[in-house]
A and B are shown apart, each in its own frame.
Chain A
Amino acid sequence: MALVRVDGLSFTYPGGVPAVRDVSLELHAGEVVALLGPSGSGKSTLLRALAGLVPHFHGGRFAGKVEVGGLDTRSHGPAELAGIVSSVFQDPENQVVMTRVDNEVAFGLENMAVAPDQIWPQTAHALAEVGASHLASRRTVELSGGELQRVCLASALALRPQLLLLDEPTSQLDADGAEAFLAAVEQAHCAVVLSEQRVDRALAIADRVVMMEEGRIILDAPVAEARAWLSTFRPRYAGGLEPHDPSPPSRSSAPVIRLDAVHFAYGDGPEVVSGVSLSVSRGEIVALEGRNGSGKTTLAKIAAGLLEPDRGLATRNGRATYLSQDPGRYLVRETALDEVALGVGGDEVRAAAALEQFGLAFATCRHPRDLSSGERERLGVAAVSVSEPDLLVLDEPTRGIDPDRKAALAAWLLGEAERGRGILVATHDPLLPAHRRVRLGAAVEVPVAV
């Protein structure tokens, strides 16, 4: 008997367009399914329907039938399904309830009325399963993003679910954190549905692939068969692409930013950047690589002029703008037009042209928070590039975005470089094009919420 049976599911969020259209599928115990598709294709909605959050938490129009472990989700809400289904969402910070790690894992067990004498042993076991036993007594605000997401996975596994739903759980993590997380998922002894933009890694642990576009399932096949289909019809999702770095810029010019032996420490903490030298010329893309905590973000901020080095010299020859990680979260104005116009002193003509360039003309008068995550990110890029800076500094711009959007971003970066802009990109992504790659030394884990 199937663990999950979805029959003709269609769902529309209140005031929105249909997010999922006539989806039918079955999942069996122990199966690991990679759920692929571009941003906005309906993956998250399908996962929420499997957890009962759609329609019980979100409202909206629901048609069809979803049965999980024999329970119809129309008559059984998410709290009732919690013993059968566990979910891990994108942003670890938005899932954590308690202050200490062990209490966080125990929270779900208390809700499920597990016998008190079993709560701490099950908590310890779940933390051990994800390799996080050493974090048990730590405060959740002191953990890195990767550590915190592993704690969220432990919280989900502690409930001993039959079905584990993972909604782009690594989108906020660096490469190392994502690797550790997915390695822990491989050890889960239950059915798993993994929505993931790191396609290579997802395919490596999956038995089966389901791909969605525009709310419909367009592929449902075993991994080997799916790889062949993806190679033919969606090559960017097939993985195995080689980095394609452009040839060096034809003209050499004075650096737009030059860092000479710069040092930096936050407060009286340890040095994050120690004696790094770096330069970026006009028309050049420089990729700044290194492990989490190696100082990439700090160096990027120094290059953009947001931080000044404690020692060493930062020589800027032109104006710089800086795109932070997860830019869609940090939009500050009431309309998309105002958001972009902020960078050019309220010039709405230039702002409208930038929105047009990024395919956001339809959003001119809409509130940035009403846009999808992909649209928000494009709005963030438009907001920092509208003023045509001499140096564009981007911090992990490909984190959590789908392969199509990543390709579009790479093409845009090359175009900007050809127009003579200097570009510095802090990234873990080896596929992002760059004229030069600079690797910083490894360091320590960085707290996510401090």
Chain B
Amino acid sequence: MSAGPATALLAATAIAAFLIDGIAALAAMIAILLVLCLRAPVQRRWLYVSGALFSALGVIVISPLTWSSGGGTLLWEGPTLPVIGPLDLSTDEIQIALVNGLRLAVVALAFSAYTLLVDHDRLVSAAGFARRSALAVALATRLVPSLERDAAGFAESVRGRGVELHGVRGYAMLLSPLVAGSLERATGLAEAMEARGFGRSETTRAPRPAWTWVDHVAIVAALVLVAAAIWL
């Protein structure tokens, strides 16, 4: 499938997730997206997939305790905590947390599939007049694996000196060098792009394969998915 229709289908799935309340439908979407993500190499996919699923799990487990819907059957009433307030659990809260968690999982997995599997280059070439903007988005997406590697490198550099990183504050120490490293990388990339003629007034495009029937079906499916989500 071409990059444009694949991206449209993934975007439609994410939009539909916000419009659908049915747990079974959301679970089905997650199952399909998981199967898609599992096509990516193990070393690259685990961070995306585990990040998406654990974030969703966090929403499902924590949010019903910390938020009161005022409806449904009260199942448990706990202590009142500073800042957070009273802890309780009701059937309504569980239902809503489940839907929100599944929605988050769908959106995160759709982004994961886009990052891991879509050919961003073809998306850039399909962008027509917005090629520079599409290239910026593709470069930003491509930066994610580099950031992963840099973050691991920084953590290793600190641990290699016998210093353990503890908690959020420990890892927050790595944010500033990570940003500085990204800026340095971006400058290097800009220099390399200019040296390769980027920014000249006249450009051409390498010929790309025409859309197949699968691509047309994907576009129609994306439209139908969003329409159905609105309708239902």
Contact = CB atoms under 8 A, between A and B. Distances in A.
A343 B192 contact: no
Contact of A343 (B161, B194, B204): B161
Interface string A49-60: 001010011000
A107 interface: yes
B200 A80 contact: yes
Contacts of A384: 160-161
A264 interface: no
Interface in A87-129: 87, 89, 91, 93-100, 103, 106-117, 119-120, 123
Interface stretch (B6-14, B81-89, B142-150, B220-228): B142-150
A155 B206 CA distance: 14
B46 interface: yes
Interface size class of A (residues with CB under 8 A): 35 or more
A114 B204 CA distance: 6
A60 to B, nearest CB: 14
A330 B154 contact: yes
A362 B174 CA distance: 25
B156 A93 contact: no
A369 interface: yes
Interface in B167-201: 173-174, 176-177, 180-181, 184-185, 188-200
Interface size class of B (residues with CB under 8 A): 35 or more
Interface string B126-149: 000000000100110010011001
B198 A321 contact: no
B42 to A, nearest CB: 6
Nearest to A106: B206
Given A91-B188, A343-B163, A82 B145 contact: no
A450 B198 contact: no
Given A77-B194, A120-B207, 9 more contacts: A51-B195, A53-B195, A97-B189, A103-B206, A113-B200, A156-B196, A327-B157, A450-B43, A450-B149
The 4 closest A-B pairs by CB, nearest first: A322-B160, A82-B197, A94-B188, A111-B197
17 contacts: A51-B195, A57-B194, A77-B194, A82-B197, A97-B189, A98-B120, A108-B196, A114-B204, A116-B207, A119-B204, A267-B46, A331-B177, A332-B158, A332-B173, A334-B176, A383-B161, A384-B161
Interface of A: 51, 53, 56-57, 77-80, 82-83, 85-87, 89, 91, 93-100, 103, 106-117, 119-120, 123, 141-142, 155-156, 159, 266-269, 301, 304, 306, 319-324, 327, 329-334, 342-343, 369, 380, 383-384, 387, 389, 393, 447, 449-450
Interface of B: 41-44, 46, 119-122, 124-125, 135, 138-139, 142, 145-146, 149-150, 153-154, 156-163, 173-174, 176-177, 180-181, 184-185, 188-200, 202-207
